[in-house]
Structure 1
């Protein structure tokens, strides 16, 4: 059963599909998921939505607290193997989201983290709100910053207008920089907790 959860790391959690694949009852799948959550093996990232917009996804996404465990269960044993594995993007996203969650716990910050996705597939990987500003983060494993990486952030801003949106690209490169409309943040800054706590 655990392997069924592994394949959904960083993805929308469909318990009906999960129970059908594992050939178990829906309630059994929910109970097993509850055990994984209470054991701090997995956690759910809830979608951000407002009732006035019914076209938004309202299903949570599943993540693992320990990406080392996730890689082991996926059969990934070396750095080199991870770099070429088709799960690389999901593992990277999982790591970033989990590090943000841990930073909140460790520093007693009571911010709620979300993701956002509409019915057209426009998605923000990580989202939180501070006063009147939305902090929208696109997470990409690539080490190269290209203009098309900002498309989802720009689409999200158009959805949220006239609210203020701070657009962040968190990527697999080593250098952070500030551009006119975006913050570009290295995974290293995010992994040590500085990214979240300095916003």
Structure 2
């Protein structure tokens, strides 16, 4: 009877539930442990239900990465309405964004580790690499839009191509996160990101 009721769950809701469950499996057992059978077992649904929601494992992985992008978009959204009058305000906005990301990493390190594992797996898997590249391009698009908006509201411009500024900022952000996952040094993690945000602000002219 319980499964009969589950069958009437709207497909988009089912996909969301399965995607969140997939991240749970990855966080607990490692990104490589995610299979459609493991997902079905964790979710308590028939294997066919997973294939009904996702036509392929690639589609499932795309949904997993989209969930991570949604998290970034939510963090970025918090900085889009704050008053911006100069480079100090831009640096403060970036610092707050970096700090919010750091909070999320420290609150759920296993989930962040799983996403890093996906990126490393993509280095050996051409199909997964294409999905990860698409996800990374969307990361850049979101951040470029934010950085352009911050500069415009400050009445300034970036001293170099904003794509380069964003790429360096993301490299710093994710590199610091990976270092924290290895060392668990909270103070160093926050100090690196705070200094990085200040460097970003100094790139406005």
Say yes or no: TM over 0.5. no
Q: Which has the higher strand share?
A: 1
> Which protein, 1 or 2, shows the higher relative CO under an 8 Å CA cutoff with sep ≥ 6?
2
TM (norm. structure 1) is 0.30
TM (norm. structure 2) is 0.29
Larger Rg: 2
